[in-house]
Each structure stands twice: as C-alpha cells, then as structure tokens.
A and B are shown apart, each in its own frame.
Chain A
C-alpha cells in the first residue's frame, strides 16, 4: 500500500504558487487518512462480531442438540468402569457371628400376562391352572377376556414352574426378574429374622421390605445401597441356636408344655448368642394364622415368647431383693431374717410353697436357697417401695428392651399403677409386675457382670459395652454365690452340670386368668442361670409355658422339675460349643489313645 504523504511536494508548490495556504492540503490529507483508518477498524470489528456471533450460535446449537438428545433417548448405564457386587444384591445378607448365612437373596421370576397379546386365552388359562393349583381356570379365562391389558399372576416362580410356563408357549405370558429373600435354615431363629414381603412392585424389579424381626428393625441398614455388599452380622451363633432349639423342643414335648423360650446371653457384651421361642414358623413362608377369638396372643407361632411374652416371672425376682438389701448395707449373706410363715400383712396372708414354714429365722443365703416368700417380703419391706422401684428401674424392668427387633418396643413391662406395701411385697417374689424373659436375662447379666448393667443386643459386638454400675462387685459376687447354692443344695439341684458351676434361680408363677385371679393348674416356669459361677460368662434362661411333669405319682409343675432339667441340658450342650472348659478332671486317657497321637 502506498502511503500518501500529508504534504505532497507537487501540490504544496502549486498552492504556494497560487498564493493558497498549503496547510489546508495537509489537513485535508490528514482527514482522509483518519477516515480510511476508521473504515478499516470498523470492518475488522464487524468481522470479529460476526465470528463471535457464529461461535455463540455453534455453542448454543451444540448445547441445545445435546439437551435434545438427552431428553429424547433412553438413559443408559455408564459401562466403561468396573462394577462391584451391588449389581445383584439390593438387600444385604444376614449372617450369624461366624459368617454362616441366615438370610440371603435369590434371583427368581414373577409371572405376569398381557391378555391382549394372547393367542388362545382359554387354553392358557387351562394350562396355568394345571401348573398352579391355586389358580382357577374359569376365573383366569374371565380375567384374560374382560379387556384388561395387564395382570399379575404369580409373585415368584420356581425354575421348574418357569419352564412349565415357557412350555405353554404363549406370547402373552411374560416374566419379570425378582429378587427373593431366602432363609436357608428354615425355622431356625425364625423369630429373630422375622420375614420379608414385596413392597412396590414393577415389571423389572420389586422392593423387598422387612415385615418383622431384625429384617424390619434393621430395614434401613439392609437396604442401604452403600452397605449392600457387607452382610449384617448378628450376635446369634447358628450352632448354639440349633442346639438350643433342639433341646427346647424336646423339653416342651417331654414336659407337655404349650411353648417355651430360651435365651443365651454373653454377660460382658450383652450379645444374644441364641434367642429361641417355640413353636416357631418358617420365615420363607411367613404364615398369617387366624386364631380363634378366645385364644391368647401367645398361641400364634409368630409370637416371640422371649421378647413379647410379658409374664410374672416368680421367684427369679427374689435375688434382686436380697442383692439390694446387701447393696444398701441392711444385711449380709449370713444375716438372719424373720421368715416365719405365714405372714399377715393387712388383709393379705403371705404363704410359702405348699404352706411350708422355713422359719422362724433364715439366713439371707437360705432365703434364696429355700426360695422363701416371707423372708424376701421382710427384706423388701426393709428396703421400701421407692428404693425397690428405683433399683428395678436401674436393672431395666420399667421400660421395653432396646433390642433390634420390631417386636421389642411394643413389649413394655406391666407395672401396677400404685405401689403400696403389698405390691412391694409381691414384687419382691416376682408377682404383681410382669416383664419379658429378656428383661430377666439382662438383669441376671448385670449381676453376673460384677454389678454393671449390659444392654442386650442382637448385633455382633467387638468388645464389652459396660453400662452403669447398679451394685458393688462384692454384692454381685455374693449374689452369684447364693445362686450357686440354689443349685448345689436348693430347689434347682437338677441344674448341676459337672464342671460348669451353674448358678441360678427357679421361678414358678401361676398364670393370671383374663377374668382376674390365677389358674390353679397353669403355670409359667422359669429358670434363670449363669455359668460358670467362679467367673460368669453366660446367662442361660429357659421359660416353659404351662409345663407339667408327669413321671411321678402326681403332676409336678414347679420349675425345678420342668425348666431346670431343660436348662441343664442346654448348658451341657452349649458350653463346649462356646469353648468353655469344664473345671473337672477328665477321665484318664487309655494308653492306646495316648500313643496313637
């Protein structure tokens, strides 16, 4: 580009010659140059604006197109990363403390129908009725032909049934995948596990929700997607649970009882190694029994006697009265107390079992060993109602247990509305207030744990979880020693298991009638024990509902004859399983065995 000088010599000379001002030419040229520059920069700016506008257009179109694509296409899973176990299990497994499966999931299929796609509805209805007995051919034909376009037929199918439906070969029959909850051990620990059912159902999947027991109480944990690959470990020991249920079942049969419950609890951690209630049910196929009107709730197999059964627990309560009296410094184990029966209190007459009289004086230890109502009543009166209530409250008898079962919060102990002296007296030997066997097990665990409470739990713990101290260690030790003497020379002589130093207390309570008063021939028998007495590790509690022992000349209904032998057999079987060595001299091994190893 040739640059025009501002003062071109030719024009300047010419202008000078004509006497004009040459500066005018310079200004004129300067103006032209400015105009050129302005036009050039305007052009450049316009081009830039155009490019910028185009860029914006492209960017917005790209975003718009992407949004359109995202909105109109079906979502796909991102596939380019490794996947974990969460693909399959939408609900975490439940295992026992050693990792043995208690509940798991199995993939199965649900059957549904699109009647409008069906070739021959009548034939399909007939063949389906032949495969599934609960479906009726007429009913199905009507439903297939009344204009519906979708029908659920079965929630779950076995592989054989699925093959049979495939073989019908009708395009209107379709399968949807289903994850089914499976309890491989059948009725074992049924009341602990509870059961599940389907919640919201779709063609591609269905929600599995817990309906009872741990399944419902821990539903949020089991359904948490972040934890679905980690099984929920319970404190239950499958082997111990199986042994306990086997023995309890045999015991119920032998003692002609209606039902029973057994609890094995670790006194240091509060873990329940076994929680059995019989009769049981199969959680794979949770029944929905219709009970007759006059039936008790306990007659249903779904009823968990160990947790929901709120009973008057009888003489097993006596140890709390003596322990509190010792804790308060009112008596020592050898203090003699008035036990002269019968005892008159206002209108009430307190008697001993079979109208015996252990008095006039008994040591506190013998009050427990002989199970003296009068002796306990005298101690309770010395303690007083208010302090007695506070002590029982600290042992957890005034509120529902906090165990991880849906049934637990509903099982509140039944307490008298007022607490006059006569209630103080009856409560001291376990009448007048009702609590569940689990409450009693937790309270015995506090005694066995050196006077420190433990919270019962069904979840595996990593270590002891001490609660609050409710009595001094010496008092707890003295109480365990009294319980030991109940077995060595008292009412629970059948509880003795050589080598395991069982210490426990029997309890026989008449069942209350619904109409008021008590039955003469219906009892609840309880045996609460701890072992080994020298260093208590486990609480074993057995409750039998309406047992009667008939081997003698007349029927026997005391716990010493019914619940105690069952508890002893349970202890004998489970102690080796729990790896507790008997404190006994093993029989000498014969030479042959010794040399062979």
Chain B
C-alpha cells in the first residue's frame, strides 16, 4: 500500500509542477496581452479626447456662424426668432377631401350616381 501512495504522490507533484509551469506562462502571456490592450486603450482614449477637442473646435459658434452666412443662399439659416414658435391651436384642420365625387351621403349615392364616372 505504501509504495502505491509514494508513487501517486510523486505523480501528483509532477502533475502539479507541470500545471504550475503552464499556468505561469499563461499568466505572463495574459499580462502581456493586458498591457498591450492597455496601451491600445490609452492611445484610443487619447485619440478620442483629441477628436472630441476637434469636434468642439469645428463646432465652435464663431465658425458655425460664418459657415451659415457663407452658405446662406443654399441653406437660408437665420437665428431663431420669437415668431418661429408655433402652437397646436394655430394649426387649421386639414381640409376635408371630397371623396366619391362630391357625394357624401347615402341618399345621394342611390339617387344621383353618374354612370359615366368610374365607380370607386
């Protein structure tokens, strides 16, 4: 019994050693990947910050105002006016479209349908 335990223990040590060796190298590989990714994230964040700054610079009010006046003929952009506020109550209802060639009640349909017109 005892030799079996010795052999098994030895094998277990061997196996664990191999496992630890692989884990070690995998961890180092993972750390290397993480640091590459971190560097990439940092450079992307840097690019993002730069693009945000660029966006803010290109959208600065002075420039937009100049562009709006340069392209006035095409775009016709003007500063917002108080009169541009609309109210739902000021909208008129859409005009009632005349279906059935002006016929809008059943009596007219039965009595006065013109046979030369196309039936709807």
Q: Which residues of A contact B (CB under 8 A)?
A: 79-80, 83, 85, 87-89, 100-101, 104-107, 182, 184-186, 188, 238-239, 242-243, 246, 497-500, 572-573, 575-577, 581-582, 584, 586-589, 591, 594-595
Contacts and interface: CB of A to CB of B under 8 A. Distances in A.
B41 to A, nearest CB: 7
B70 to A, nearest CB: 16
- For chain B, the bracket of interface size reads 35 or more
A89 B91 CA distance: 51
B45 to A, nearest CB: 5
B92 A591 contact: yes
A576 B53 CA distance: 28
B41 A586 contact: no
Contacts of A582: 82-83, 85
Given A79-B35, A576-B82, A589-B86, A104 B62 contact: no
Given A89-B49, A107-B50, A182-B53, A83 B38 contact: yes
* Interface core residue of B46, B82, B85 (most chain A CB under 10 Å): B82
B65 A246 contact: yes
A284 B61 CA distance: 17
Given A104-B52, A184-B57, A185-B56, A572 B41 contact: no
Contact of B61 (A239, A588, A591): A239
Interface of B: 30-31, 34-35, 38, 41-42, 45-46, 49-50, 52-53, 55-57, 59-62, 65, 79-87, 90-92, 94-95
Given A498-B82, A582-B85, A584-B82, A589 B90 contact: yes
A83 B39 CA distance: 10
Given A89-B49, A107-B46, A594-B91, A587 B60 contact: no
B90 A586 contact: yes
A230 to B, nearest CB: 14
B45 A87 contact: yes
Contacts, number: 99
Nearest to A582: B82
B53 A238 contact: no
Nearest to B54: A184
Contacts of B46: 88, 107
* Interface core residue of A79, A587, A595 (most chain B CB under 10 Å): A79
Nearest to A589: B90
A184 B61 contact: no
Given A79-B31, A87-B45, A586-B87, A100 B56 contact: yes
Contacts of A184: 53, 56-57, 60
The prevalent SS among residues of B at the interface is: helix
Given A106-B50, A586-B86, A576 B42 contact: no
Contacts of B56: 100-101, 104, 184-185
A576 B78 CA distance: 13
Contacts of A79: 31, 34-35, 38
Contacts of A575: 82
Contacts of B62: 185-186, 188, 242
B34 A80 contact: yes
A497 B83 CA distance: 11
B60 A185 contact: yes
Q: Which 7 A-B pairs have the closest CB atoms?
A: A242-B61, A184-B56, A101-B56, A184-B57, A576-B80, A582-B82, A185-B60
B94 A572 contact: no
Nearest to A245: B61
Contacts of A500: 82
Given A182-B53, A582-B82, 6 more contacts: A88-B42, A88-B45, A184-B53, A186-B60, A498-B82, A584-B83
Nearest to A89: B49
A106 B56 CA distance: 13
Contacts of B34: 79-80
Contacts of A100: 56, 59
27 contacts: A79-B31, A79-B38, A80-B31, A83-B41, A87-B41, A87-B45, A88-B42, A100-B56, A101-B56, A104-B49, A104-B53, A104-B56, A105-B53, A106-B50, A107-B50, A182-B57, A184-B53, A184-B57, A243-B79, A497-B82, A499-B82, A572-B82, A573-B79, A575-B82, A576-B82, A589-B91, A594-B92
Given A89-B49, A106-B53, A587 B92 contact: no
B91 to A, nearest CB: 6
Contacts of B92: 589, 591, 594
A238 B60 CA distance: 9
A293 to B, nearest CB: 35
Contact of A87 (B42, B50, B85): B42
Contacts of A242: 61-62, 65
A101 B83 contact: no
Contacts of B57: 182, 184
A589 B86 CA distance: 9
A584 B81 CA distance: 13
A105 B49 contact: yes
Nearest to A577: B80
B65 A581 contact: no
A200 B79 CA distance: 46
Contacts of B41: 83, 87
Contacts of A243: 79
A524 B95 CA distance: 58
* Interface core residue of A87, A573, A591, A595 (most chain B CB under 10 Å): A87
Nearest to B27: A80
* Interface core residue of A83, A587, A591 (most chain B CB under 10 Å): A83
B40 to A, nearest CB: 11
A320 B38 CA distance: 61
Contacts of B53: 101, 104-106, 182, 184
B62 to A, nearest CB: 7
Contacts of A584: 82-83
A242 B79 CA distance: 12
Nearest to B38: A83
